[in-house]
């Protein structure tokens, strides 16, 4: 029809068009398309368009490998789990507690927070159901505690401060602490506080925990339920008809697709529109700027406690015990055991160059490992890129090139390091910057890149995970996921050392042990005076920096790409990015 109209207009006007003719043709074209459309669809829409409109496409280049948050070891797994599981409450971006399964937030005034600081009582919402229709109650909260506190399950969820969890009645639960605890929201809040269904996991509360079918097809109280899961590839969700706000859910299907890399994820949202949401966009700043120029999407960012850091191994990854364990406490590292060497390596990291060139507005160079909330930032530390000072320290420590090979050595051992991280364009560029600097002072460097699904997995049999740390240096981002950093700082205590005896489930990956640090942390767990507690946290941060347990590089924003057609995304640094997915809509 368009061609006939075009031909008629050309014939009438001698192949010349007036503005009136062009307007007329456009109007007829719109009317034609509208007439051909479904009466319930916008102009140009068809059933396929409608299905696409109701499908939320999430692109996670590190795909989930397990959907049990208490057996998870990587952010990707929490992101997937959070769509179907819920905690009692969670902190929003302003640090305000928002109830999920809780009916109200405990306070001193309502009697929820005990005056002696030894317990907290939560009132639960009534009428909540699991996605299989079974009722939710305090028994599920109690069971979840029993599950992650059972040493046989190998859970990574902390239990250090908890004494017990008891059901007062079907909709009241009391959490008892071992001692006075100022961090009363430590349990069942945020991504680490998701509640499991007792009737599903009761038979798997032990050494068989990883065999539970629900690890792959969870039953939750959240807005969507899993209908398909291929670990490391895709998770497909559909609305949970038993969700208490099911009538408010916009999407009929949610696809969390894995694979690719951060750059392709950014391009899929910001340029090609093949996805609605791209998670964890670690892409060089200039490339991000180019991708945003199309105007099809934007970046959503949230600065919290995340810090890209380089860990130094205090144990030797090249020696093994008779049962095959490397990086064992039995074998100290040949040169990182020396504080002068660790200090030299800190001087070698060009934080400003990495921050400005690779992160831009999404990252700031830092000398601290505790960067949020602001009140906990230490004013006592600075960083410096100085190769001359680094070389002088290595000389003082006795590491010199004695055989003319161009590599520093001492007592027959050459200074060679394996530097590992996940596959990611920004991290690979960071590795190159670090390698160039290390090489210039006589350190031989082998770069190792591991797929994120492996590097951040919780597989105790895989030697390439961050918790095994079978390398000399490794780099990744993490931070406190709660405005109270107590649990985050616990990871550097002696009893949190990751090793074979605990199935590599602890988070002290460098294997650092300092009784002075342990004493400070223990004090912080019972100090009710906010200012004194703040100073204890700063002291812990300063001790980690002084001992060069790790090298903070960049305080990093959590950055994701969001299509202009998607609304409702409201990131918080204190929970998974999918925490409020029930509110996401298509424009």
Q: Is residue 280 in some structural domain? A: no
The CATH number of whichever domain residue 537 belongs to comes to 3.10.105.10
| Residue scoring higher pLDDT (52 or 152) | 152
Residue 4 scores a pLDDT above 90: no
Decide: 82 and 74 in contact? Cβ < 8 Å: no
**Contact at 8 Å (CB) between 503 and 465?**
no
pLDDT at 35: 36
pLDDT digits 0-9 by tens, 339-383: 999 999 999 999 999 999 999 888 999 999 999 999 999 999 999
Token pair in block for residue 119? 């317990």
The per-residue pLDDT for 3 is 41
Contact 154/460 with Cβ under 8 angstroms?
Answer: yes
Please give the pLDDT value at position 1. Answer: 40
Number of domains in the chain: 3
Whether 96 and 190 map to the same domain: the answer is yes
29: region left, alpha or beta (phi > 0 left; psi from -120 to 50 alpha): alpha
Q: For residue 44, is pLDDT > 50?
A: no
In a domain, 59, yes or no: no
C-beta separation of 300 from 288 below 8 A: no
Q: Does the structure show a pLDDT above 50 at 323?
A: yes
Asked, for residue 261, whether it belongs to a domain, the answer is no
Q: Is residue 235 part of a domain?
A: no
On whether both 350 and 412 belong to a single domain, the answer is yes
Is-contact 331 315, C-beta < 8 A? yes
* Phi then psi dihedrals of residue 148, to 5 deg: -80, -10
pLDDT cut 70: percent of the chain above it: 91
CATH of the domain at 108: 3.90.76.10
Res 48: pLDDT: 52
Q: Taking the model in full, what pTM does it have?
A: 0.78
Identify the CA nearest to 499 among candidates 468, 455, 466, 537.
468
CA-CA distance, 539 to 376, in Å (whole number)?
Answer: 10
pLDDT value at position 38? 36
Find the mean pLDDT for residues 487-497. 95
Looking at the structure, do residues 147 and 97 belong to the same domain, yes or no? yes
98: number of CA atoms within 13 Å, CB side? Answer: 14
The answer on 326 and 180 residing in a single domain is no
Mean pLDDT score, 475-491: 93
Q: What is the pLDDT of residue 584?
A: 98
Contact (CB, 8 A) for 79 and 578: yes
Domain that holds residue 83: 69-220
Indicate whether 19 pLDDT > 70. no
Examine the domain organization and report whether 137 and 29 are in the same domain.
no
**Which range (61-65, 191-195, 342-346, 566-570) has the least confidence?**
61-65
CA–CA distances in Å: residue 199 to residues 133, 136, 194, 214, 470: 12, 10, 16, 11, 39
Confidence of residue 15 (pLDDT cuts 50, 70, 90): very low
Say which residue, 62 or 411, is predicted with more confidence.
411
- For residue 484, CA distances in Å to 560, 579, 584 come to 24, 19, 28
Q: End of a domain among 179, 204, 220?
A: 220
The answer to whether position 532 is within a domain reads yes
Is 511 in the same domain as 414?
A: yes
Cα-Cα-Cα-Cα torsion 361, 362, 366, 368, nearest 10 degrees, comes to: 140
Three-class DSSP labels, 330-399: CCECCCCCCHHHHHHHHHHCCHHHHHHHHHHHHEEECCCCCCCCHHHCCCCCCCCCCHHHHHHHHHHCCC
Same domain? For 394 and 319 the reply is yes
Q: Residue 178: pLDDT above 90?
A: yes
Mean pLDDT over 454-476 rounds to: 93
> Is a pLDDT exceeding 80 seen at residue 439?
yes
Residues 35 and 75 in one domain: no
Closest CA to 99 of 190, 172, 228: 190
**Average pLDDT, integer, range 173-189:** 95
Residue linked to tokens 């929003």 = 92
What are the tokens at 512? 């650092």
Q: What is the pLDDT of residue 52?
A: 74
Residue 126 and residue 7 share a domain: no
Q: Last residue of some domain: 177, 204, 220?
A: 220
User: Is the domain of 416 the same as that of 329?
Assistant: yes
Helices (H) and strands (E) in the chain, counts: 16, 20
> Residue 459 pLDDT > 70, yes or no?
yes
**Residues 81, 25 share a domain:** no
> Which pLDDT score, from 0 to 100, does residue 22 have?
34
- Whole-number average pLDDT of the chain: 90
262 domain-assigned: no
Q: What tokens appear for 288 in the block?
A: 């991000």
Same domain, 465 and 423: yes
Which region among 28-42, 51-65, 94-108 has the lowest average model confidence (pLDDT)? 28-42
Cis peptide before 373 (omega within 30 of 0): yes
More confident: 318 or 18 = 318
């Amino acid at each position: 029809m368009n061609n006939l109209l075009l031909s008629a207009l050309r014939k009438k006007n001698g192949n010349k068009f007036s503005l009136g003719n062009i307007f007329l043709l456009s109007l007829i074209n719109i009317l034609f398309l509208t007439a051909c459309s479904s009466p319930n669809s916008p102009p140009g829409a068809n059933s396929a368009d409608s299905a696409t409109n109701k499908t939320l496409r999430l692109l996670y280049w590190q795909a989930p490998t397990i959907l049990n948050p208490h057996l998870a070891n990587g952010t990707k797994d929490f992101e997937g789990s959070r769509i179907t599981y819920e905690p009692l409450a969670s902190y929003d971006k302003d640090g305000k507690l928002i109830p999920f399964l809780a009916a109200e937030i405990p306070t001193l005034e309502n009697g929820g927070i005990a005056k002696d600081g030894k317990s907290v009582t939560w009132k639960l919402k009534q009428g909540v159901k699991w996605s299989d229709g079974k009722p939710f109650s305090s028994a599920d909260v109690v069971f979840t505690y029993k599950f992650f506190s059972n040493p046989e399950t190998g859970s990574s969820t902390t239990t250090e401060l908890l004494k017990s969890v008891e059901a007062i009645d079907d909709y009241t639960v009391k959490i008892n602490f071992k001692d006075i605890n100022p961090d009363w929201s430590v349990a069942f809040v945020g991504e680490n506080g998701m509640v499991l269904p007792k009737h599903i996991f009761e038979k798997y509360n032990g050494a068989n925990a990883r065999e539970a079918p629900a690890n792959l097809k969870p039953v939750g109280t959240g807005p969507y339920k899993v209908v398909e899961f291929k670990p490391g590839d895709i998770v497909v969700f559909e609305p949970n008809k038993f969700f208490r706000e099911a009538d408010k859910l916009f999407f009929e299907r949610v696809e969390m697709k894995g694979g690719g890399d951060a750059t392709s994820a950014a391009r899929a949202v910001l340029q090609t529109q093949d996805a609605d949401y791209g998670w964890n966009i670690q892409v060089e700043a200039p490339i991000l700027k180019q991708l945003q120029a199309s105007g099809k999407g934007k970046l959503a960012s949230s600065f919290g406690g995340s810090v890209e850091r380089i860990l130094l191994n205090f144990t030797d990854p090249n020696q093994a015990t008779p049962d095959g364990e490397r990086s064992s406490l039995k074998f100290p590292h040949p040169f990182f055991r020396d504080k002068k060497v660790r200090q030299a390596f800190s001087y070698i990291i060009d934080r400003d160059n990495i921050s400005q060139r690779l992160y831009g507005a999404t990252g700031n160079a830092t000398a601290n490992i505790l960067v949020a909330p602001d009140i906990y930032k230490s004013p006592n530390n600075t960083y410096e890129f100085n190769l001359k000072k680094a070389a002088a320290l290595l000389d003082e420590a006795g590491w010199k090139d004695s055989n003319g090979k161009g590599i520093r050595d001492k007592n027959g051992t050459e200074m060679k390091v394996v530097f590992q991280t996940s596959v990611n364009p920004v991290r690979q560029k960071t590795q190159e910057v670090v390698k160039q600097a290390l090489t210039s002072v006589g350190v031989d460097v082998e770069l190792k890149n591991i797929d994120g699904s492996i590097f951040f997995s919780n597989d105790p049999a895989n030697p390439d995970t961050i918790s095994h740390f079978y390398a000399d240096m490794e780099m990744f981002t993490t931070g406190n996921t709660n405005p109270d950093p107590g649990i985050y700082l616990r990871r550097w205590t002696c009893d949190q050392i990751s090793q074979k005896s605990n199935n590599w489930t602890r988070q002290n990956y460098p294997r650092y042990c300092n009784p002075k640090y342990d004493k400070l942390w223990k004090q912080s767990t019972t100090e009710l005076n906010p200012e004194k507690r703040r100073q204890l946290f700063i002291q812990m941060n300063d001790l980690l920096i002084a001992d060069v347990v790790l090298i903070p590089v960049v305080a990093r924003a959590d950055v994701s790409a969001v299509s202009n057609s998607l609304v409702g995304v409201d990131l918080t640094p204190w929970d998974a990015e999918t925490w409020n997915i029930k509110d996401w809509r298509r424009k």
